[in-house]
Amino acid sequence: MGIPDHEHQHTERKAIANRLSRIEGHVRKIKEMVEENRDCPDILIQLAAVRSAINKTGQAVLEDHLESCLFHIGLDPEDNKIWKEVQDALDIFF
């Protein structure tokens, strides 16, 4: 189990929730496309867009977690070479 939220702050939770709401709406629209018998390539394009949005949201959650943990141990992510290296690695991975 993780560290309780009161010990550190997750600054991006609202933005992440907003991203998830947009993804949820996008998925509903894709379902409508399927029910309307739209062309498969059009549906696949939209599914790829949702997959990309989910990956970016996952990256944001991970970055928020790492940032809050770095703050928790006293490292400032804006001034710290380690944080920049972590962000660069995440950008390469995702």
Residue 9, phi then psi, degrees to nearest 5:
-110, 140
What is the model's pLDDT at position 86? 75
What is the model's pLDDT at position 78? 65
Band of pLDDT at residue 7, cut at 50, 70 and 90: low
Q: Which residues have a Cβ under 8 Å from the Cβ of 33 and sit 6 or more positions away?
A: 42, 43, 46
Whether the pLDDT of residue 89 is over 90: the answer is: no
Q: pTM for this structure?
A: 0.70
Distance CA 21, CA 85 (A): 30
Q: Domains of the chain, with CATH numbers?
A: 12-93 (1.20.58.1000)
Residue pLDDT, tens place only, 34-65: 999 999 999 999 999 999 999 999 888 888 88
